[in-house]
Structure 1
């Protein structure tokens, strides 16, 4: 099964790693680095049907099903948003539709202390990304 990071990065590892940093500036750098590890999306895939509405930046989510698991390819025109997509990918990529729908993403965001450190529009965009992925999971369940 393909993994966007080349190695398995779990939500727990992201929580642990972010816990090492004292400042949110350092945490933002780590999140941006997560985004840099994501594979580039082919420009031909950056189509209107893959764009996520409700995001301040442009965000595209492509998906396919492989061995009953939802595989995601994501991109954004903003570095921090690519990083946030990396955080979301750790929770959802390569999971079954049932696992995607069962994952407590709000609890994960709370554990990261993430939402309150984002602007309201960025937080809404993050939730729009999650809603899109959950809708894809529902369509395949």
Structure 2
């Protein structure tokens, strides 16, 4: 699966980062890039279950492609969600479930920050994306 321009930018920036301090700063910056969700979108129906933190996921179809928006109450998780979103934007619905999430975060040098609970939570987000796109 090819990478979007935003995913390539993320890969370049995180690859250039020296050490965890710089990656953590980058992660926070990427989290700030997330398109904010309206309070009306932060509903139980949009909540991703399987995450320790509160996470909401919203999907819309634009020109036949799925676009996702996500948010969390946890800063670090917002950064991880932003990196997940740039990786999945433009990916076909059928490919979402096959996405190598650990491989993507390993490429970014962030695998150590994926505790089992964070990893499970991000997989729950990815699964919900696949489910949402398959329903339509």
Query: Does TM, scored on the shorter chain, surpass 0.5?
Result: yes
Show the counterpart of 1:69: 65
The alignment's TM-score, normalised by the length of structure 1, stands at 0.82
Show the counterpart of 1:88: 84
Query: Partners in 2 of 1:114 and 1:73 — Cα distance?
Result: 21
Over 3 Å counting, the alpha-carbon distance change for 1:68 and 1:47 in structure 2 is same
Show the counterpart of 1:34: 30
Deviation at 1:113, TM superposition (A): 3.2
Deviation at 1:35, TM superposition (A): 1.0
Aligned-pair Cα RMSD in Å: 1.9
Q: How does 1:44-55 map to 2 (within 5 A)?
A: 44-55=40-51
Deviation at 1:99, TM superposition (A): 4.9
Deviation at 1:103, TM superposition (A): 4.1
Confirm or deny: 8 A CA contact 1:65 1:71 kept in the other structure. yes
Q: Size of the alignment, in residue pairs?
A: 133
Confirm or deny: 8 A CA contact 2:58 2:69 kept in the other structure. yes
The alignment's TM-score, normalised by the length of structure 2, stands at 0.85
Deviation at 1:110, TM superposition (A): 2.4
User: Which residues of structure 1 form unaligned runs of 5+?
Assistant: 1-7
Deviation at 1:82, TM superposition (A): 0.9
Q: Deviations over 1:103-122 (max 9, x none)?
A: 43332122123233232212
Deviation at 1:40, TM superposition (A): 1.0
Q: How does 1:7-46 map to 2 (within 5 A)?
A: 9-46=5-42
Q: Deviations over 1:78-118 (max 9, x none)?
A: 11111111001101134432453554333212212323323
